[in-house]
Chain A
Amino acid sequence: MTDNADNKPGHAEPDAHVDAYTGVQTTGHEWDGIRELDNPLPRWWLWTFYACILWAVGYWVLYPAWPLASSYTTGLLGYSQRELVTEQVAASREALREYDVQILAGALSDVPGNPAVHSVALAGGESAFGDNCAPCHGRGGQGFKGYPNLNDDAWLWGGTLEDIQTTLRHGIRWDIDPDTRMNDMPKFLDDGILSREEVADTTQYVMSISGRDADPEAATRGAEIFAAQCSVCHMDDGRGNKELGAPNLTDAIWLYGGDQQTIYASIAHSRRGVMPAWQGRLDEATIAKLALYVHSLGGGEPSAPVAEVFGDVLPEESLPATEGGVQE
């Protein structure tokens, strides 16, 4: 760079704009007696600056740069971030499709045996659950009043992988789907089948079979009404029937509540929970993933008969003979 030959001491009289010690002109700026030397920019700095300018010009030519009235200059390289993203999304979809094929290849119950495919299915199921199911069943599948908890072991329509898959495909009481899970409990009071007293007696009976405090006299009267009106669906012992989606009335889980008032209302006015059919909205692979995910939440029933798997491990009495029933 500039070699300041005059920077030696003993330099000539300081000019108004020349620094006495260095012999360099000042810019004329002064702050509290400190003057800024007017030194040239370092050469490496200048070259970097020129290189940046060249780079920018090259960039204008090669890459999309200038906005036009209705479009933009596309650049010689034809680079497009949007197209790149679209391609990447398509590529990752394609990569996932291979797993979809494997998930749908055999029986659904074969999938957990293949850990690689299973973990993809569970991750996909969890994300689909968040998008589609969480509004009613909760983010963790914990359910709300009237919306079943999917973590527990009580299933109205069955909790095997295949049962869950069918429910997902066709929905519950979803009139548009001819294969939907359908049943209707009569509104025993509203439809004039039972009187208020008879409904109250039946309520006492239902409370007695689920182990709650009940008036024995009323319960005895209610037992007769139950045998005549309710046992068709809820079976003689009140343990329900998954074929019909009839809840088990003897277990600890109540979908709408197990207190006297709620049970009375359920008998008098009936309950009619609805779930949409997802077939047609979600593809088969997504439905399969959702079934696998919901089944893995902890309460899914094995596809094989219960006794075969659990018989040796659990004492007999802790196993309900049939499951299903109302959930809390």
Chain B
Amino acid sequence: MTSNDPGSGLSDLAREAVANVVAPEPPPAAATGPGDGRAHEKVERHDVEPVNSAASRSLYEKRRAIHPKLVHGVFRNIKWVVMAVTLGIYYVLPWIRWDRGPNAPDQAVLLDMPGRRFYFFFIEIWPQEIYYITGLLVLASLVLFLATSLFGRVWCGYTCPQTVWTDLFIMVERMVEGDRNDRLRMAKRPWTLGKFGKKLTKHSIWVLIALATGGAWVFYFADAPTLAVQLVTLDAPVVAYLFIGVFASTTYLLGGLAREQVCTYMCPWPRIQGALVDDQSFLVSYRTDRGEPRGAHRKGDTWEGRGDCIDCKQCVVACPMGIDIRDGDQLECIQCALCIDACNDIMDKIDRPRGLITYDNFDNMERREKGLAPRTRLLRPRTILYAALIVLVGAIMLAALVTRSPLDVNVLRDRNPLFVMLSDGSIRNGYDVKILNKLSEERLFNVTVTGLEGARLSTLTQTGLETLPVAVAPDRLRNLRVFVSVSAEQTGLVEDGVADIDFVITDMMDGREVRNATTFRVPDQR
């Protein structure tokens, strides 16, 4: 390597960048000295470093254990409520009953794989209607886009299953092993029977939660009460136990052991969100203009000439991702706002206004620097577009749902031979007519053909019919072999050897009509 190598210039730049980040921060020891007796007595101080600090972190370092401290406040309460509601929905949904008549399952939400039907309350989806699922996924992602452009990763912070279950697992950990300080102390202690007992209790409860999670999952795929009995009596299909095993082990692994690593390393969403967030999006932010310069503050000292941040690091210890929000918006942040609760609590104690850490946007930060008033702009081209797309896709899906026919007809024309001449000179074409009855009761249909004068229908057992009555069993597809024939004289009316005809299938009970266009062929006219 030579001195004028571009590589060395690059590393100089990197070194400089790191130095800039590190320099303004005073050494942690100075702020948390044990002899600091005159600091605010009510404020607990923490010696903690964010896990993602570029200055101190090696690429090859083992995971640093994160022990989030319990906080109280608005956002923590929202998270408890969201957790209760989402988990409640997940565990209760398969047990809701829905009367669909005698031939259909009475489970409100059922993904019936062997029967090839999805049931969602009043909606019943057949395999050929799987686009409803596609539509739902499109709709879900659009809602996610809209929410992200408005409030950043609110999905990640509150409703993502990974967040909900991790929160639940941390709650269990806190109940068994105590809050952050207890856990830290226990981690340093050697193994004793008491420590082993606590760990065993914690992991046992985790495994039970994981099993309940996997167990609830399989209820979506079979009649829940029946399957529950089968599971207990060991009569359930092997695949049910297999899936419980798979989902229980992934829940335990991802929610209990991997936790924030899933969000940081496995999830693609942090990489995508950058394209959805703009300078108007409200993100969990540290207000530098209010907080800096930060530092320890003794009671009675003046607040003049310094920021409101007393560098107590409550925001860092509250963070389930183990980061420092004061470093700015960063990839690891799941926008759960627990740091806001933690900081507001401290602000109350030191008698400073709340909102040092708050939902804020880049635009307002710049405006404050310029001395302008902050503003809220929820209606922007981006959010209007997402909202419009949501309305559009929703309207299309609704229209498709409302105009959905309980009857599907498909007509396949014989190609070999194209036509058959019968002994009396008449011409006959063969068709496979598939009639799909999506209702849970038997329907009687009339099959007729229009567009060809004198056409007669026949099957292998009936001949010379004008209308062919067909019964289709509930929830079934019936495949009919239908022949259409016209007399020798009538074939002369068919021009160019092809006539466009329609198969008309009429529901004899409600008069609903489905037409399916096809052709009738005769030998080329000489």
Interface residues, chain A, with chain B CB atoms under 8 Å away: 1-4, 7-10, 14, 16, 19-21, 33-35, 39, 112, 138-142, 149, 151-154, 248, 251-253, 296, 298-300, 309-310, 313-314, 318, 320, 323, 325, 328
Contact = CB atoms under 8 A, between A and B. Distances in A.
Nearest to A248: B423
A237 to B, nearest CB: 14
B129 to A, nearest CB: 27
A14 B417 contact: no
Contacts of A4: 58-60
A251 B58 CA distance: 94
A20 B3 CA distance: 11
Contacts of A140: 414-417
A14 B423 contact: no
Contacts of A138: 416-417
B464 A314 contact: yes
Contacts of A14: 1, 8, 11
Given A310-B463, A313-B462, A252 B424 contact: yes
A16 B2 CA distance: 8
Contacts of B58: 3-4, 7
A39 B416 CA distance: 67
A151 B420 contact: yes
Contact of A298 (B1, B8, B61, B460): B460
B464 A252 contact: no
Contact of A296 (B19, B415, B416, B460): B460
Given A142-B417, A251-B424, A251-B425, 19 more contacts: A14-B1, A14-B8, A14-B11, A19-B7, A19-B11, A21-B10, A21-B14, A33-B5, A33-B7, A140-B417, A141-B417, A142-B416, A152-B422, A153-B422, A248-B423, A251-B423, A296-B481, A298-B420, A313-B463
Interface in B38-84: 55, 58-61
Contacts of B488: 252
22 contacts: A1-B60, A4-B58, A4-B60, A9-B14, A33-B5, A33-B7, A35-B1, A35-B7, A139-B416, A141-B417, A142-B417, A149-B417, A151-B420, A153-B422, A248-B423, A251-B424, A252-B422, A298-B420, A298-B460, A318-B424, A318-B487, A328-B421
Nearest to B428: A298
Given A33-B7, A35-B7, A310-B463, A10 B420 contact: no
Interface of B: 1, 5-8, 10-12, 14-15, 18-19, 55, 58-61, 414-417, 420-425, 428, 430, 460-465, 481, 483, 487-488
A140 B430 CA distance: 11
Contacts of A35: 1, 7
Given A140-B414, A298-B428, A10 B15 contact: yes
Nearest to A141: B417
A222 B60 CA distance: 107
Given A33-B6, A139-B416, A253 B421 contact: yes
B412 to A, nearest CB: 13
By CB atoms of chain A within 10 A, which of B12, B421, B460, B465 has the most? B421
A154 B417 contact: no
A154 B423 contact: yes
Contacts of A1: 60
A34 B428 contact: no
By CB atoms of chain B within 10 A, which of A3, A138, A252 has the most? A252
Give 8 closest A-B pairs by Cβ, nearest first. A140-B416, A142-B417, A252-B425, A9-B15, A251-B423, A21-B11, A1-B60, A20-B11
B430 to A, nearest CB: 6
Contacts of A112: 460
A14 B1 CA distance: 8
B70 to A, nearest CB: 32
By CB atoms of chain B within 10 A, which of A21, A34, A299 has the most? A21
A181 B203 CA distance: 84
Nearest to A300: B460
Contacts of A9: 14-15, 18-19
Nearest to B62: A1
Contacts of B460: 112, 296, 298, 300
B423 A252 contact: yes
A105 B428 CA distance: 34
Contacts of B55: 8
Contacts of B420: 142, 149, 151-152, 298-299
Nearest to A11: B15
Nearest to B19: A9
A142 B414 CA distance: 11
Contacts of B59: 4
B112 to A, nearest CB: 24
A323 B422 CA distance: 11
B15 A314 contact: no
B56 to A, nearest CB: 9
A138 B418 CA distance: 13
B417 A151 contact: yes
B60 A34 contact: no
B356 to A, nearest CB: 31
A95 B148 CA distance: 58
A141 B7 CA distance: 78
Contacts of A149: 417, 420
A300 B5 CA distance: 90
A296 B432 CA distance: 13
B23 to A, nearest CB: 11
Given A33-B6, A138-B416, A152 B421 contact: yes
B119 to A, nearest CB: 29
Nearest to A251: B423
B463 A323 contact: no
By CB atoms of chain B within 10 A, which of A14, A309, A328 has the most? A14
A20 B8 contact: yes
Nearest to A32: B6
Contacts of A251: 423-425
Given A3-B61, A21-B11, A151-B417, A253 B18 contact: no
B85 to A, nearest CB: 38
A142 B416 CA distance: 7
Given A149-B420, A252-B423, A21 B463 contact: no
A300 B18 CA distance: 89
Nearest to A252: B425
Contacts of B424: 251-252, 318, 320
